[in-house]
Amino acid sequence: MKKELVSETLRVKKIKRGDIEKMYQLFSEYYNNHTFNTFEHDLFEKDHVILLKDKKTNELQGFTTLLRVPLKKAGVKVIGVYSGDTVLKKEYWGSPVLGISFLKYLWKLKVRRPGTAVYWFLISKGYKTYLLMAKNFSTYYPRFDKETPPEYKFLMNEFYSSKFKNNYRPETGLITFEGQSCSLKQNISDITPEILNEPRIAFFQQQNPKWADGHELTCIAKMTFWMPFKYALKKTFKMRKK
C-alpha cells in the first residue's frame, strides 16, 4: 500500500515537546555529529516548521525548519526565507508533499506583498536537497549552465556572511567548519558514478567535493507568483505521460 503524507505548518514556539523529541530522533537516523542541545537551539532560532506525518498513522516522518530573513536589494526591502534542518524518512522519498507545502509557504508571502521579491536561501550538504531546488525553481544559483549574477551574489554574501560569520567562504560559496561537523550518514545520499551523468549532480559534486564531511553549498532561488501554477502543470503533464 502506498504511503501518504500530510503536512502541518506551525510556529516553532507552538511545537509540542513530544514532536521536538521525535524530530531529533528522526534527524539522528540520518546525520552524524550533533547533540540534542544544538538541534534544539537551532530549532528555536527559526520562525516556522513544516511537519510531515503519515496520513494513516499520524506518525512524524519528516520536517523542515524556516526562518524569515530581513534583507535589502539595491536599497529596497526583499523577503528572504532560510530553510534549516530538513529530513524526510527514506520510505517517503519521492513524495511531493514537502515541496508543495514549502511552495505554499513562499507563495503566501508573495501574495501578501506581490510587489516585493521573495528569495529562498538554502544550504546543501547533500545532492538531493540541491535537486529539490534545481528541479522546482526556474531561477536559482549556483547552477552548471549559468553564472551567478552579481545581484544574487550580493544577496548571498549579505545573508550567509551574517549568519555563518567566518565559516562562510564567499570565494567558493561553501560553509565549512573546524573539526567534526554535522554530516550525512553513509549510504543516505551517496554520489555514485552512475548518477554523475545528471549534470546538476555532477555540478554539485564539483562545487562541494567535501559534502560528506558536512561542508554546505550555499544557494539562492527566487519565488514568483506563478510558480505553484507551473508546478501543477508540470505534475499534470508528467502524470499524462505515464
Print burial letters for 62-98: b (CB count within 10 Å at least 16), e (below 16). Answer: bbbbbbebebeeeeeebbbbbbbbbbbbeebeebebb
- Residues 6 or more apart from 75 whose CB is under 8 A from it? none
Residue 2: pLDDT band (50, 70, 90) is: low
Domains and CATH numbers, the chain: 5-241 (3.40.630.30)
Amino acid identity, position 115: G
pLDDT in tens, 142-163: 999 999 999 999 999 999 999 9
Q: What is the pLDDT of residues 38-74, one digit of tens each?
A: 999 999 999 999 999 999 999 999 999 999 998 988 7
Say whether pLDDT at 23 is over 90. Answer: yes
pTM here?
A: 0.90
More confident residue, 61 or 183: 61
Residue 236 — very low, low, confident or very high, per pLDDT cuts 50/70/90? very low
What is the rounded distance in angstroms from the CA atom of residue 63 to the CA atom of residue 85? Answer: 8
Helix axes 127-136, 199-207, angle to 10 degrees: 130
The answer on pLDDT for 176 being more than 90 is yes
pLDDT value at position 227?
A: 73
Question: Do you know the residue count of the chain?
Answer: 242
CA distance 99 to 103: 6
Please tell me the predicted confidence (pLDDT) of residue 215.
Answer: 94
